[in-house]
Amino acid sequence: MRLLDFTGSDFHGAQQIRLLRIYLALTTFLYVYGVVFTIWPLRPELTYANPLGGVLAIVLGIAALIWLAVKPNHPGPATLAAIVATPLVMAFHIAITAELACLIAPMFLAMYLRAFYPPRRAAVLIGFLTLAAVAGLAVAPLPKLYIDYLIWVIAIVGAGESFGLVMRALVTSACTDPLTGLLNRAGWEIATRNLLARRRSPKSTITVVVMDLDGFKQLNDTRGHLAGDEHLTGHARRWRDLVPRNAVLARLGGDEFAACIADRDASLAQRFVADVGRHTPDTSVGVASQPGDTADIAALYALADAELYAAKGRNRRKTDR
């Protein structure tokens, strides 16, 4: 997986699923509340809707939560259920005040979609959500004005583009190293956990490659920190081009970098290590692999780190001679 992919759903998978669960749980609870008080209103004049839409939305919400419990790495059907549920409720309202209250849910969902999906896919999903909400308003048996449709579009699209972009920027900046543009340690933890969840199988091999720049401290001391920063960013760019598509690449601090690669037999990892040695020969490397069904990222990192420092020790002894 390339660097830019980490700003999308794969990278933020854990937060994406967690927030979708929260959204579905809260909206389903509100649908239950609405159906109960529609069937048994506190006062007869407080009836705002036919309960059928709420019942359908409850079924969708529960089904989506069950789906996420069974297949948390495939949120597509649950996301579709979340998109459709509220417009179903809107389609059976008989009061515009109830419609306006329901509009809040699609606005929050648009923020979520914009924050956690790649831009093109988010635009498609928000467009579908907006059309569904407008259609729900259109078929609802209540008097409407043309401006109501405009309000629906502006509210949903505006929420997604403004607050959703801010959310996306905050999450991305929290997980990105500002100097190299690679993941930072927090991003590494999230991305490797997601990668491991997808490749948890005895048929796959998980490899952690730890990389450290030789002579980096001396470069900083003799040529200054600006030269050191350029050295770091140059190596990061090369490794970004070399790393396999579905790998995780991060700067963990100082001149220490790491890659996590999943493949069948570690051949991709071996090729990456060879490419690192060929294109950046001033790099010490430590490598550790485990089967996908038993792999532990922290243990792999510790093993690779130990091999890295053993390699640096051998390099120092060669230099001393």
Q: Is 188 exposed, middle or buried (0-12, 13-18, 19+ CB in 10 A)?
A: buried
Give ∠ CA 82-2-20 in degrees, rounded to 5: 15
pLDDT at residue 166 in the model: 84
Distance CA 182, CA 198 (A): 21
Q: What is the pLDDT of residues 226-240, one digit of tens each?
A: 888 898 999 999 999
Within 10 A of 102 (CB to CB), how many other CB atoms are there?
25
More confident: 119 or 182 = 182
Render pLDDT for 240-286 as a digit per residue (tens, 0 to 9): 999 998 899 999 988 999 999 998 888 999 999 999 999 999 899 99
The predicted structure's pLDDT at residue 211: 94
Q: Which fold has domain 185-320?
A: Alpha-Beta Plaits (3.30.70)
DSSP letters, 77-100, are HHHHHHHHHHHHHHTTB--HHHHH
Give the three-class secondary structure for 263. strand
Return d(Cα 198, Cα 185) in angstroms, integer.
20
Residues of the chain with CATH 3.30.70.270: 185-320
| pLDDT tens digits for range 291-301 | 988 899 999 99
